[in-house]
Amino acid sequence: MTQILIAEDEERIAAFIAKGLHAEGFATSVVATGREAIDLARTGEYALLVLDLGLADMDGLDVLHQLRATGEAVPVIILTARSSVTDTVTGLESGADDYMAKPFRFEELLARVRLRLRTPQQVGEATTLTHGPLQLDLRTRRMKVADHEIDLSAREFALAETFLRHPGHVLSREQLLSQVWGYDFDPGSNVVDVYVRYLRKKLGAAHFDTVRGVGYRLVDATATRSTSQGRHVAPYRGHDAPA
CB count within 10 Å of CB 90 equals 16
Question: Do 42 and 72 touch, CB atoms closer than 8 A?
Answer: yes
Segment interacting with Ca ion, rule: CB under 5 A, options 44-52, 112-120, 136-144, 214-222: 44-52
Q: Any contact of residue 9 with Ca ion (CB under 5 A)? A: yes
Question: Do 215 and 166 touch, CB atoms closer than 8 A?
Answer: no
Smaller CB distance to Ca ion: residue 56 or 111?
56
CB count within 10 Å of CB 32 equals 18
Q: Any contact of residue 24 with Ca ion (CB under 5 A)? A: no
DSSP result, 78-139: EEES---HHHHHHHHHTT-SEEEESS--HHHHHHHHHHHHT-HHHHT--SEEEETTEEEETT
Q: Any contact of residue 36 with Ca ion (CB under 5 A)? A: no
**CB 30 to Ca ion: min, Å:** 12
**CB 20 to Ca ion: min, Å:** 18
**CB 37 to Ca ion: min, Å:** 12
Q: Any contact of residue 242 with Ca ion (CB under 5 A)? A: no
Nearest of 92, 52, 97 to residue 76 by alpha carbon: 97
Considering only 30, 54, 102, 168, the residue that binds Ca ion (CB under 5 A) is 54
Tell me the residue number closest to Ca ion, measured at CB: 54
Q: Any contact of residue 87 with Ca ion (CB under 5 A)? A: no
Nearest of 163, 142, 174, 141 to residue 207 by alpha carbon: 163
Considering only 5, 6, 18, 52, the residue that binds Ca ion (CB under 5 A) is 52
Nearest of 166, 127, 130, 136 to residue 20 by alpha carbon: 166
**CB 10 to Ca ion: min, Å:** 5
Segment interacting with Ca ion, rule: CB under 5 A, options 5-13, 83-91, 125-133, 210-218: 5-13
Residues of this chain that bind Ca ion (CB under 5 A): 9-10, 52, 54
